[in-house]
Structure 1
């Protein structure tokens, strides 16, 4: 009774309890019968557990199972079943009974029997019995009372077990069904014995098809199967280190795909059987999320580097453009007033070199500016020339020959020249990187612009390097896909280039070059010139006779003044706004105002705002002179489009100044 009260599961202790009970009663058999509803047979008395005295060979056979059909046919069995439901004891000698029970008891050599019903939850659950297989005996009142007490204790244990077991089973089944992780149970031979719905979803196997199959031939990746004939060997060998651990590994689904997983495996023993329970979590979503986070982190890092590069270039360009502006202006003046042809040629070379420096600085700035694409009539020939100037040093320093072939006349498209320059420069840099590893033969890059059928315009960049392997050609325009060594490429250049070209309604493609090499081609919709270009030979602008120049760099101001003087425009120069405002208040009203953007006291944008408030007519003829449009971008775009000032970027050429003067004259005429 004490053991039954303390037992967590009475079934685990019942064999020892029956032996203790049988020997205490000096019996030879002790049995626990239970009533079960067998399919097609009705209520059946089955053997739950039993003990026999093995010293008597005649009683070694197991007790009989009695189906409901026999109970209905045998009067004694019917009476015993009815009295059992009423809780009445059944005891006596085998020779005193008739029918099925007498024949069955005689076959089992039972001389005397004592059976007490077991009631659980108010109904008959079964019975517990003691048999004497040697002597006919009359059971004493003490023995009968002892058996009834044992039956009551067993009834309590069964009720507890039924309740706890039922609830536990329901909870376990619900948890198994609702688990988001795949749960697989494998026996010691490697056969799958449980497979929950999450496992069906992960592996693609229906439970009905996979239960009973070997784990080795179903969910273990094929390259892990070598050396094992079945799942049992695998679990004892390679699978053994997985038990009792949480680890990341791979599995194989019904389609043969390898799936990354997190596996938690544990081993338990049930009825002397060893089974392994595995909880499997699909890692594909997590790994994809981690990969996306990594890509976004890399993208943010690249953006930060670009922003830092932009700030650096803005500062460098501001400092560099001032002396470049002086060199360009003075070389232009030297060319204009040169006393002989040789001096004119030398002055022109200086001017051309300085203007080239200025264009390179402007191109670098344009590539790091974070402004939206502003499309205008753009000459693809000039775009490609600008890209060649940006990348020329790298090609020359590596001994790479550049061969260019430009279409005749302007090759016009509607585009953002800065962005297309970025595309062409990226192709040229990629070609230089591809040729860096070529050790033999002439390394060359061929650049071509052309007019295509249907009116489109295009350019191509071709190299005689190793080319692009066929296996990865479909991926070269993907973001962050690169074949370059670490530290050489980021994998975003071609994807950005493709995005830029597509925003311009164009197409970009890769072409293989025989016998080896690569060619990248860009085609854009072509346009016909609108003819709205300022004539380079225009001497000046009618109506503009006097200018006010505000600049803290005397050489820059003087150079601008000298060029304006050539165009018939006299200039007053002020080093700051205080001096300039005194001129305006004194009545010395200019026809046009040029002001530097960055000055120590008052900035060019502050001067422009003051002109808008006090001299609005003069503000319409205000020109902001700067070598750093990046810093002024936010301030300029904060103004309405109709109130934004004219811009003149340093270093400025004669043509740049004439263009600004013509624009101001056109604006004044429209008012």
Structure 2
């Protein structure tokens, strides 16, 4: 009898371990796919694709993402931007009450927890306060909320609902889902940095295009024109992407000799007669040089200028 009990326990342990290994493999695969989607680039972050991946892997009834924004009065408002639902679970994506939510007022305890960087993981029946009413209206039995925190702010959260019966997420599950939240935070930071670079480049182009002089940047290794302002595009023989020495120097048959400095990093030398100065062209790479020509058109460059 004891032997049979021991065999039964051993079989159960093996089955549980197998199930845990399968769950771990699924989470690792999912996290890898989420990272792949977020690193693919593009001007918009694929929020819906993330919930479509993480939702099924979490074995939840719902998976959703809320993002925060600050209004004119300094309030943090949260809006749902993506949602995945298991079969038979009603969607809340179009619920107007889940758009521009003033969490500090409508769900003060959850707001305090999430904004401090901690998670919310609890059964709805254990909640006292306005949060309970909001969750019960969505037929939620248990909820897991994980903050999306960038280096500067509480940017939003990713949430998971259990609607069929109460559920306790394991430490292992929570750790993997936290990883998904961190990937979303990194994606937000990259998206913000990319947007700032694009805006900076627009401002730079506007300034350079206002000059009645040729402003160009050339790759010091390939002699390719990587930047050309409006005036330059109007009078150059070859446009951006061509060889700068063919466009800038009359009767020149080969590239200029190497510049005196071996590395220009991202600092661009701009020649504005009769003043010399330094500018930085956004998004340029090391080994790129730049100069300008007066509005009279291309002439032979002084020795050492590229």
Q: TM-score, normalised by structure 1?
A: 0.24
Alpha-carbon distance in structure 2 between the residues aligned to 1:92 and 1:62 = 25
Establish whether residue 52 from structure 1 lines up as the match of residue 85 from structure 2.
yes
Matched-pair contact (CA < 8 Å) for 2:150–2:189: yes
Q: Report SS of the residue matched to 2:60.
A: coil
Establish whether residue 101 from structure 1 lines up as the match of residue 131 from structure 2.
yes
Establish whether residue 117 from structure 1 lines up as the match of residue 151 from structure 2.
no
Matched-pair contact (CA < 8 Å) for 1:29–1:51: yes
Residue 11 of structure 1 deviates from its aligned partner by 4.0
Residue 61 of structure 1 deviates from its aligned partner by 4.7
Alpha-carbon distance in structure 1 between the residues aligned to 2:194 and 2:178 = 24
1:7 corresponds in structure 2 to 40
Residue 174 of structure 1 deviates from its aligned partner by 5.1
Q: Report SS of the residue matched to 1:33.
A: strand
Establish whether residue 167 from structure 1 lines up as the match of residue 197 from structure 2.
yes
Q: Which has the higher helix share?
A: 1
Matched-pair contact (CA < 8 Å) for 2:61–2:89: no
Residue 128 of structure 1 deviates from its aligned partner by 1.0
Residue 138 of structure 1 deviates from its aligned partner by 0.8
2:62 corresponds in structure 1 to 29
Are the structure 2 counterparts of residues 52 and 62 from structure 1 closer, same or farther at C-alpha, using a change threshold of 3 Å? farther
Residue 100 of structure 1 deviates from its aligned partner by 2.5
Establish whether residue 43 from structure 1 lines up as the match of residue 76 from structure 2.
yes
Matched-pair contact (CA < 8 Å) for 1:92–1:114: yes
User: Please, which of 59, 83, 99 is the counterpart of residue 65 of structure 1?
Assistant: 99
User: Please, which of 115, 139, 148 is the counterpart of residue 85 of structure 1?
Assistant: 115
Alpha-carbon distance in structure 2 between the residues aligned to 1:128 and 1:9 = 21
Alpha-carbon distance in structure 2 between the residues aligned to 1:177 and 1:135 = 61
Residue 134 of structure 1 deviates from its aligned partner by 1.6
Are the structure 2 counterparts of residues 81 and 60 from structure 1 closer, same or farther at C-alpha, using a change threshold of 3 Å? closer
Alpha-carbon distance in structure 1 between the residues aligned to 2:207 and 2:80 = 32
Post-superposition Cα deviations, 1:256-291, rounded to whole Å, max 9, x if no partner, equal xxxxxxxxxxxxxxxxxxxxxxxxxxxxxxxxxxxx
Matched-pair contact (CA < 8 Å) for 2:123–2:143: yes
Q: How does 1:464-503 map to 2 (within 5 A)?
A: none
Matched-pair contact (CA < 8 Å) for 1:32–1:48: yes
Are the structure 2 counterparts of residues 151 and 172 from structure 1 closer, same or farther at C-alpha, using a change threshold of 3 Å? same
Q: Report SS of the residue matched to 1:136.
A: coil
Q: Report SS of the residue matched to 1:135.
A: coil
Q: How does 1:444-463 map to 2 (within 5 A)?
A: none
Are the structure 2 counterparts of residues 175 and 29 from structure 1 closer, same or farther at C-alpha, using a change threshold of 3 Å? farther
Q: Report SS of the residue matched to 2:66.
A: strand
1:135 corresponds in structure 2 to 165
Q: How does 1:28-427 map to 2 (within 5 A)?
A: 28-40=61-73, 42-53=75-86, 55-56=87-88, 58-62=90-94, 64-65=98-99, 67-68=101-102, 71-72=104-105, 77-172=107-202, 175=205, 179=209
Q: Report SS of the residue matched to 1:8.
A: coil
Residue 178 of structure 1 deviates from its aligned partner by 6.6
Matched-pair contact (CA < 8 Å) for 1:42–1:67: no
Are the structure 2 counterparts of residues 51 and 170 from structure 1 closer, same or farther at C-alpha, using a change threshold of 3 Å? farther
Higher-Rg member (1/2): 1
Post-superposition Cα deviations, 1:198-251, rounded to whole Å, max 9, x if no partner, equal 9xxxxxxxxxxxxxxxxxxxxxxxxxxxxxxxxxxxxxxxxxxxxxxxxxxxxx
Matched-pair contact (CA < 8 Å) for 1:4–1:10: no
Matched-pair contact (CA < 8 Å) for 1:30–1:51: yes
**Can you give the 5+ residue segments of structure 2 that lack an aligned partner in the other structure?**
1-30, 211-229, 231-306
Residue 17 of structure 1 deviates from its aligned partner by 1.8
Alpha-carbon distance in structure 2 between the residues aligned to 1:159 and 1:101 = 29
Alpha-carbon distance in structure 2 between the residues aligned to 1:10 and 1:29 = 27
Alpha-carbon distance in structure 1 between the residues aligned to 2:114 and 2:148 = 8
Size of the aligned set, in residue pairs, is 177
Alpha-carbon distance in structure 2 between the residues aligned to 1:132 and 1:9 = 33
Are the structure 2 counterparts of residues 85 and 40 from structure 1 closer, same or farther at C-alpha, using a change threshold of 3 Å? closer
Are the structure 2 counterparts of residues 9 and 89 from structure 1 closer, same or farther at C-alpha, using a change threshold of 3 Å? farther
Question: Whose relative contact order is higher, 1 or 2, with alpha carbons under 8 Å and at least 6 apart?
Answer: 2
Q: Report SS of the residue matched to 1:162.
A: helix
Matched-pair contact (CA < 8 Å) for 2:104–2:112: no
Matched-pair contact (CA < 8 Å) for 1:111–1:136: yes
Indicate the RMSD between aligned Cα atoms, in angstroms. 2.8
**Can you give the 5+ residue segments of structure 1 that lack an aligned partner in the other structure?**
181-197, 199-671
